[in-house]
Structure 1
Amino acid sequence: MSTLLTLTGFTYHHFGPIDLQLGAGGSTGLHGESGAGKSLLLRAIADLDEHGGKLTLDNQDCSDVPPNQWRQHIAYFASESFWWADTVGEHFTASNAHDLNTLGFDNDVLNWRVHRLSSGERQRLALLRGLQTQPQVLLLDEPSANLDSVNRDRVEKLVATYLNSHGATALWVSHDRDQLARCCQQTRQLHQGRFIT
Structure 2
Amino acid sequence: MTAVPLPPAHLLTVGEYATLGEDDAGRSELMEGNLVMSPSPSPDHNMAALRIAVQLMPQLPQDLEVITDVDIDLELVPPDQPGFSRRPDVIVVRRSARRRVRTDGGLIRASEVLVVVEIVSPGSRRTDNVVKRAEYADAGIPHYWIVDLQEPVSLLACHLTDKFGYLDAEVVGGLFTGTEPFAVNLDLEDLH
- Normalising by structure 2, report the TM-score: 0.32
- Higher relative CO (Cα under 8 Å, sequence separation at least 6) belongs to 1
- Normalising by structure 1, report the TM-score: 0.31
